[in-house]
Amino acid sequence: MTSCGARFCFVFHTINAYDCPDGTVVLDVMTWDSLDLNLEQMVGHYIGAGKPERWILQPAAGAVTIVPWAGKEPLSGEFPVVNPKVANQKHKYFYAATVHSAEGMKPEPLTFEFHSVTKFDTQTQRTVSWYPEAHELENIPP
């Protein structure tokens, strides 16, 4: 086992990871600078959401190169996924629930209130977002 140090942050969900032919490992993650999971303090406060980063792990050197998302608009989100056909392989796209609306970032005093689903292009760092209408986000009881 090899240890590679990264910056101090909280990773709630990983996006994907894969091995490269040169021995490096690419790990895409949603990072939080800080996160307090005290639900009593979270209710009624905008807590933000994770920001995507690519970590390139170099096990032979025990090093990590961190590539922050440099897309055009500041996006934050969570619950990222890739197409299962490319899980643990190099991928071009991932998708996440994001905290912004067609009008831009929209912090609400509600915990994890996501306003859109965003497709992230890992090569161009462009995004395409879907902004559902209220009736398209029904809370369906079990």
Q: What is the pLDDT of residues 127-141, one digit of tens each?
A: 888 887 766 665 555
| Distances, alpha carbon 76 to alpha carbons 20, 22, 88, 102, in Å | 27, 31, 23, 14
Report residue 69 as tokens.
């998302």
The pLDDT tens digits for 43-98 are 555 555 678 899 999 998 889 999 888 765 556 788 899 999 999 999 999 999 88
pLDDT of 40 > 50? The answer is: yes
pLDDT for res 16 = 96
pLDDT in tens, 102-116: 455 444 444 456 678
More confident residue, 76 or 23: 23
pLDDT in tens, 74-88: 567 888 999 999 999
Q: What is the DSSP string of 125-141?
A: --EEEE---GGGS----
